[in-house]
Amino acid sequence: MSDESEQDDEKTMKEEEEVIMTELNTQLLTLKEQIRDASPDMRPAFAPQLAGLIATMNEKGIPVPAEIQDLHDDLVNESIEAQFDNMPV
């Protein structure tokens, strides 16, 4: 392969990574707004979707912002608490 061809391949890969990062960030922002706007009892329902985005970011080697990881942890905790709220005493 020529140097020019290798440089073109690297440029194409970087552009694809940027597109993926942009798409993931857009999805994260949209989901974050949906979670923020959801009623407290509906928030835990977003945990699987957020977990999927986090997993995709991890697979792609994209750092997950602490704020997003914290939000996921909050949703999981809310889900666990909701299960105990529905237990008979």
Q: Which residue from 32, 39, 29, 40 is spatially nearest to 77, judged by alpha carbons?
A: 40
Angle between helices 47-60 and 66-85 (to 10 degrees): 150
Segment 61-75, tens digit of pLDDT: 888 999 999 999 999
- Residue pLDDT, tens place only, 26-62: 999 999 999 999 999 899 999 999 999 999 999 988 8
Do residues 36 and 75 make contact, with C-beta atoms less than 8 angstroms apart?
no
The token pair that represents 13 in the structure block = 């890969």
The SS3 assignment for 45 reads helix
Domain boundaries, the chain: 39-88
pTM of the full structure: 0.76
